[in-house]
Structure 1
Amino acid sequence: MHLVPRLARRVPAVAAALCALTMLAGCGSDALAKKPPFPRSTVQAAKGMTDPSTDPGSGSTGSGKPVDPAFAVDKLRLVDPCKLLDADTLKELGKPDEAVPGGFTRCSNFMKDKAGKDLSITIEVGQTLTSEVEKADKKLAGLNSYEQVLEGSACFVTVITQEDPGIGITVQVGYKDGDGCEPGRKIAESVVKLAKGKAVARTAAKGSLITLDPCELPSDAAVADAAKESPRVYPYGLHNCSWVGSDAEVTLDFRGGYVPKDDKFDPKQVDVDLGGVKAYQVESSTSYPSCTLRWVQLKGQDNDGEVVEVKSAGPKKSEFDRCAKAQAFAKALLPKIPKA
């Protein structure tokens, strides 16, 4: 049975731009992630996305057509990112270590180069892209690609698999003692070739969230109730979606990875009964108040599992019961989620 591995780090869609290309930044719930053995690195967030009411974008989901049928979103959801880290290709760069999976879409290898120096490689499948699509000025394995070098020896090599909205596969290389982009290109070329084949596909377990489209799953009525009038849709990655209205928003996130002992995601959580499904609720009273519900969909061995997260939020001036909205949205969603 397929259950996603530990080290999962998913990112709520409304805050997606804050975590764009932060594959090593560790954005997301600490309870769903173990501390990674690599340094943090970030890219400047898109303007206005910390408060969706200031975002000038339309929230359009675009045409949704991949550059190649092999990279259709429904196919990318089934790609096992660790199978994209080809052992032979890694051996050309040095001495690989064991693959470290990270949720549904990420995998890392913290290896050594041929001189015994640290060389960390992380793949993210289905990365949400913004300006990278327009800035893509290179070609790798027949796809447009974009490279970004961060101060501190990190290089991101992104291949564009869909232009509207922008989706890609990103290879991040941490290499303090060399040019990280050079091995990044080699890995990216291998990744593209492997992603087109069937050998990297995985079979989802019964009741798994991995094949579900979070933007399509909720009913229009549930979205309208949670995000009020004419919300903009913000897909993020392959398993996260937000609906942002003028004074309220809701985010749906499917996460794979570490499930803490006794389901203790947050020390402040309280138990909530969603009509036979036990969920865990946490309120936040910041300048942008929110209420988050989580429940465990599947559990595997060694605390691996899959989790659904629903978050209702809105500016402080907007007075509504965020927890009531989150619970109503979750209850409307439950019948559409497959039973384990």
Structure 2
Amino acid sequence: MPRLVAVPSAILSLALLLAGCVGPDLAKQRFPRTTIPANAENVADPSEDTPVPDGQPVDPAFAPDRIRVTDPCELLDEDVLKRFGTPGDRSRSGFSRCSNFMEDKDGKDLAVTVEIGQTMTSELKEADKQIGGLRAHEQTLEDSACFVSVITQEKPGLGITVQIGYEHGDACAPGREMAESVVAQIKDGKGIFRPAKGSLVTLDPCALPDQATVDAAAGPGYRAYPYGLHTCSWLGDDKEITLDFRETFIPDDRDFDDKQTEVDLGGGITGYQVSRSTAFPSCEVKWVQLEGNDNEGEVVEVKSAGPKTAEFDRCAAAVAFAKAVIGKIPKS
């Protein structure tokens, strides 16, 4: 989940989701999602000779607002998976990622993961292949994993990554086949759903706060950096603020962190604040936006950070930013 400029540590880590390396089982859908049937519209592949304007997808089918409401688990077509072996249960991880930990035809472990709306940096520069009429890039990892990335937007770079975890053969071959299937399904309108009332999934975090709110948190002259479709950071000269929407596990007692303290965010909303004294001190404030069954839910997290030499109250900045954006988020 690297840039040409320094970006906050909160958004640098992109976990490699390999077989046997997952957190809580999030296979169930968290909230009611009504899939919208595919319509007859099937947008043609873009012409290589036509430049794509900044901020526009290479094909309207991959528009960010459309990808936000596409269920990645619905794109793991079982008919395609059966070509590789015996599919297992689907395991969702956040809004944009879904995996199937299955067995190949010889009973060996095979992990298939699809992630949509992913930020593309090096993949964009090195895309030297074609999948489904779109530019693509392949990367292998120690002969045990292959990442097949398809570019759906160039400025800023966004795309789809199919990751195959497999130690018993060519991991890229099934990755290409699944990537072809995913691209075709999105073009056909498959997997689009109606979110639950109050869901964060439809919101663009970069567009949510107003300029005055960001100025106060990051300082004038900040630069905005989206990460995927559900995280945005604003970097100033000596401080930064990050807004992150997550679909995640909700503890029964709301005990997200042993060091957290409660803070009143107004409107009956309780926030959970954690201050971290590291080489790049930070303060995080999160709150539960939507709670479903079996400890499943959606949270908003605001993080204020800056170098040790920057003397400002990070927790006060995070709380103020949180209070400013709460009113812009739809009620459940």
Fold equivalence (TM over 0.5) = yes
Residues 157 and 181 in structure 1, CA contact (< 8 A), matched pair in contact too: yes
- Counterpart secondary structure, 1:115: coil
2:17 corresponds in structure 1 to: 24
Residues 25 and 91 in structure 2, CA contact (< 8 A), matched pair in contact too: no
Equivalent of 1:34 in 4, 7, 24: 24
Equivalent of 1:178 in 160, 169, 174: 169
Q: Give deviations 1:127-173, integer Å, cap 9, x for gaps.
A: 10112112100001111100000115110000000011110100000
What value does the CA root-mean-square deviation take over the aligned residues? 1.7
Residues 288 and 299 in structure 2, CA contact (< 8 A), matched pair in contact too: yes
Q: Which runs of 5+ in 2 are unaligned?
A: 2-6, 27-52
1:158 aligns with 2:149: yes
1:247 aligns with 2:208: no
CA positional deviation for 1:19: 2.4
Residues 25 and 92 in structure 2, CA contact (< 8 A), matched pair in contact too: no
2:213 corresponds in structure 1 to: 222
1:59 corresponds in structure 2 to: none
1:65 aligns with 2:59: no
Q: Give deviations 1:297-326, integer Å, cap 9, x for gaps.
A: 000000010000000000000000000000
Would the alpha carbon gap of residues 311 and 202 (structure 1) be closer, same or farther in structure 2, given more than 3 Å must change?
same
Q: Which runs of 5+ in 1 are unaligned?
A: 1-8, 37-61
Residues 217 and 240 in structure 2, CA contact (< 8 A), matched pair in contact too: yes
Q: What is the 5 A alignment of 1:43-192?
A: 63-192=54-183
CA positional deviation for 1:103: 1.1
1:321 corresponds in structure 2 to: 313
Q: How many residues align?
A: 297
1:336 corresponds in structure 2 to: 328
1:269 corresponds in structure 2 to: 260
- Counterpart secondary structure, 2:8: helix
TM-score, structure 1 as length reference: 0.84
CA positional deviation for 1:257: 2.0
CA positional deviation for 1:64: 1.1
Residues 16 and 236 in structure 1, CA contact (< 8 A), matched pair in contact too: no
2:225 corresponds in structure 1 to: 234
1:43 corresponds in structure 2 to: none
CA positional deviation for 1:35: 7.9
The one-letter amino acid paired with 1:200 is: G
Residues 260 and 274 in structure 2, CA contact (< 8 A), matched pair in contact too: yes
Residues 155 and 174 in structure 1, CA contact (< 8 A), matched pair in contact too: yes
**Distance between the aligned counterparts of 1:23 and 1:336, measured in 2?**
33
The one-letter amino acid paired with 2:153 is: Q
2:43 corresponds in structure 1 to: none
**Distance between the aligned counterparts of 2:234 and 2:299, measured in 1?**
20
Q: Give deviations 1:156-208, integer Å, cap 9, x for gaps.
A: 00000001111010000000011100000000000001112233011111111
Residues 14 and 234 in structure 1, CA contact (< 8 A), matched pair in contact too: no
1:280 corresponds in structure 2 to: 272
1:54 corresponds in structure 2 to: none
Equivalent of 2:9 in 15, 35, 38: 15
CA positional deviation for 1:15: 2.9
1:203 corresponds in structure 2 to: 194
Residues 61 and 189 in structure 2, CA contact (< 8 A), matched pair in contact too: no
Residues 78 and 211 in structure 1, CA contact (< 8 A), matched pair in contact too: yes
The one-letter amino acid paired with 1:105 is: S
Q: Give deviations 1:9-48, integer Å, cap 9, x for gaps.
A: 9xxx72366324x3428xxxx9xx5389xxxxxxxxxxxx
- Counterpart secondary structure, 1:262: coil
- Counterpart secondary structure, 2:253: helix
Residues 23 and 124 in structure 1, CA contact (< 8 A), matched pair in contact too: no
Q: Give deviations 1:185-240, integer Å, cap 9, x for gaps.
A: 00000000111223301111111100000000001000000001211111001100
Q: Higher relative contact order at CA 8 Å, sep ≥6: structure 1 or structure 2?
A: 1
**Distance between the aligned counterparts of 1:297 and 1:23, measured in 2?**
27
- Counterpart secondary structure, 1:295: strand
**Distance between the aligned counterparts of 1:338 and 1:191, measured in 2?**
30
Would the alpha carbon gap of residues 327 and 300 (structure 1) be closer, same or farther in structure 2, given more than 3 Å must change?
same
2:288 corresponds in structure 1 to: 296
